Amino acid sequence: LFFTYLFLDGLFRGNSQQIKEYQELLQSLLIERDGIGLLPELYYVTAENVDAERLKPQSQTRVPNENVPLVWAQSLYFLGQLLNERLIAVGDIDPLGRHLCEGRKREALVQIALIAEDEDLQKKLEVYGIETQTPKQVEPIQVRQAGELSTIYTQIGRNDKLGLTGRPERRLRSLTTSRFFRIHGETIVFLPAFLDSQQFYLTLDYHFLLDQIRSELAYIQDYWIDLGRPTLTLMLTHTMLEIGSEALLELMQELKDGVCNNVKVKLGRLNQLMLTARMQRIDFLQDADFSQSSVQNAGPRCYYLAYHPGGNWRLGHTQEFQMECETNLELLLSSLRSSENIYEQIELLQTLIRLQGLNFDTGFNGPQHRVTAADLLDEVYTKAGDLGIWAVVRRAAGLRQMVDISLSDTVTSILVRGKQIAVGRAYSQSSLISVPMSYREITEKINHFCREDIRDRVLTQEIIIYLGVLIRSEPELFQGLLTLRVGYLILLITSELAQELDVTQDEAYEHLMELSPFEVKMRLHQVLTGYTGTSNLLRQQESLHVKQKETDIAWVVLPTEKEESTVPPGGWRRFRQAEGALNRVPKDFFQQVWLLMKHCKGIVIGDKLERRNRLESGLMLSEMTAGEKNFALRIEHLLNKIEAPEYRKVNIEALMELATIVANNPSLQIEEYIVLDVLVGHAVRLAWLEQHPERGDRYDEDKASAWNSFYNTSPQDCVSYILKAFRFLTEFVQEI
């Protein structure tokens, strides 16, 4: 196989000696069958001759294996023969002439056209000496979004008669968009995909936008091989100037000076730059019409939701919980109409979309014109982006299922550096990304394994992108890390914020969501720099403080029911799945949980970073009684949000064991929230390490097996490990 590649390499280089050498080598390896020379997959020494071969290498006859021909090698050999006999030319195989560019790098001068979104912005930029054009002024040249070019490219290879659908739709990088196009007689330029904040929100942060422009310029210069100069068309907006004016003007000055990020650039008008630019004709379109009109001068936006600058305030987790539980459509829509608070609007929209979907017609513009939930979501996303309200931006982006253009490339760049990526809570081998994937496959994995908070999906994408940036620029940060556990890194960032702000982890998670992408990247860098120390901090924050001596506590395990003493058919995991699916709870379960809350600050059931899952003891006990239906419904709602039924059942078992402990220790008072995620997680770890003490330093690799093993333990063993985990997490006073 490798000889065939070297045979072709000689033909491409025109090296007659190399051609002759490898042609003769290949001919000596051919096996003749039916008069045709075929290449086997490999030659080997037979088993009975291996010892003789060891004593005297190369002394024994090699024989071909049964895989004759190896189609891969045979195809390349035939291709080489066709080239050698001049039946085809090198240009037939490489019509773009890419082999001619190997080792002959030339620095391209990157042309840049600045487009202002309207004349008002154009005048503001003129004050700073920045010349621009508006979309109206560049006519008849059309300015369009990169996504439309992606759609055009799907027509390549399309043949309806043969049932060929054409090229899959893929995001296009700047090498493709940095040129002029002639399509059915029209001259068109396409904006680079990274500028489209409707695809992903990172470039709404001006730090990232300007860094992206600089890195794209370097990328274009490094890899441009076409005739003509690359031409980057940049659309400038009012928001860019308002939020990051100083940094934007600094970049504009670099462009005016002709050098940006060590890349030679030239500013100019589109009609002038076209004379020296790369022009590409597209004549293969079967469907000539574009789905959207070209980019026009920005006009006044049509908004359907009320807005007041002073009306944006964060909701409490009780308000969020109430909106999450609301099912009355009329009430949701009327609340949405009257709300001026963008935080409230996004919560109402999330509930509405969960109940009715993105295409639900809200009726906000009468029966003549549909205004869907997706339209209102786009409106909130745009407003939040303009205002820099990142928690709302991320929630809207998650609901819109946004994907960053560079996600697949970033994952590949991490993998080729010998790392693998785990997304979500990483309790399964399935959550690992260890081979390159398409962005759709990556997002499917992210959506499946991430936390229940929809924002966690896009935050996970963010973290992966930042990891890709950092592993290229500072590889030393990743020494000793084989698996980059994104969910754990988010947890470490949250822990640092919790310590700095002196708040709970779920409140710190909310603060994390409010940070700009640039600030999140800085936090990630900080965590990677002090990885060990941050991990220790997390363990400290999980501790439960008790104002008693350990010797004063009566450690008891929940008695086993008779029906739970024997292993059920299918094992304990299947039993838990069945019980958890029904959400069956023991007798007096809710009263026991109510009594447990009298002994702690509160309980967190389910995802520990979702603040709606936190039950405040003071509030709950003052508003509800032990036998009240609303209390039972509140607990049941949180249990129902846990997707895995077996994990739901384990949480019920853990709550019953905790209730037993406090019932036997009336004076026991825990100063923190009892976080079931943490408690059960430590119980699983302790159970596994008790069975496999030699694996203590490799527990992260064993998590999937540890959880599977724990689900198969009896309820009696389960609660005994819950008790051990509680003792492990509890810090007692030394003296009273």
CA nearest to 468, candidates 521, 423, 517, 526: 521
Residue 61 sits in the same domain as residue 116 = no
Q: Is residue 630 domain-resident?
A: yes
Residue 583 sits in the same domain as residue 690 = yes
Residue 9 sits in the same domain as residue 119 = no
Q: Which of 83, 101, 119 is a domain's end point? A: 101
Q: Is residue 514 domain-resident?
A: yes
Q: Is residue 367 domain-resident?
A: yes
Residue 477 sits in the same domain as residue 529 = yes
pTM, whole model, 2 decimals? 0.76
Q: Mean pLDDT of all residues in the chain? A: 88
Residue 269 sits in the same domain as residue 334 = no
Q: Is residue 435 domain-resident?
A: no
| pLDDT tens readout for residues 400-441 | 999 887 898 899 999 999 999 999 876 567 888 999 998 889
Q: Which of 541, 563, 592 is a domain's end point? A: 541
Separation CA 136–CA 118 (nearest Å): 9
List C-alpha distances in Å: 108 to 262, 272, 567, 631, 691: 12, 18, 72, 68, 63
Residue 570 sits in the same domain as residue 625 = yes
Residue 194 sits in the same domain as residue 64 = no
**Domain count along the chain:** 5
Q: Is residue 500 domain-resident?
A: yes
Residue 265 sits in the same domain as residue 337 = no
Mapping DSSP onto H, E and C, the string for 347-400 reads HHHHHHHHHHCCCCECCCCCCCCCCEHHHHHHHHHHHHHHHCCHHHHHHHHHHC
Residue 724 sits in the same domain as residue 582 = yes
Domain of residue 726 covers: 552-732
| pLDDT tens readout for residues 499-547 | 899 998 889 999 999 999 999 999 999 999 887 666 677 777 788 888 7
Q: What angle do CA 139, 296, 145 make, to 5 degrees?
A: 95
Q: Is residue 568 domain-resident?
A: yes
| pLDDT tens readout for residues 211-223 | 889 989 998 998 8
Separation CA 648–CA 589 (nearest Å): 14
Q: Which of 84, 101, 118 is a domain's end point? A: 101
Residue 124 sits in the same domain as residue 235 = yes
Q: Is residue 440 domain-resident?
A: no
CB of 649 closer than 8 Å to CB of 657: no
Question: Mean pLDDT per segment of 10 residues, for the chain of length 736 residues?
Answer: 94 94 94 91 92 92 90 95 94 82 76 94 92 93 90 85 84 90 91 84 87 90 89 91 85 93 94 94 71 68 81 85 89 92 94 93 82 93 91 95 87 93 78 89 91 92 93 87 89 91 91 94 90 71 79 70 68 90 88 93 90 90 88 91 91 93 89 92 93 83 86 91 91 54
Q: Is residue 442 domain-resident?
A: no
Buried b (16+ CB within 10 A) or exposed e, 625-639: ebeeeebbebbebbb
Residue 608 sits in the same domain as residue 639 = yes
Residue 154 sits in the same domain as residue 270 = yes
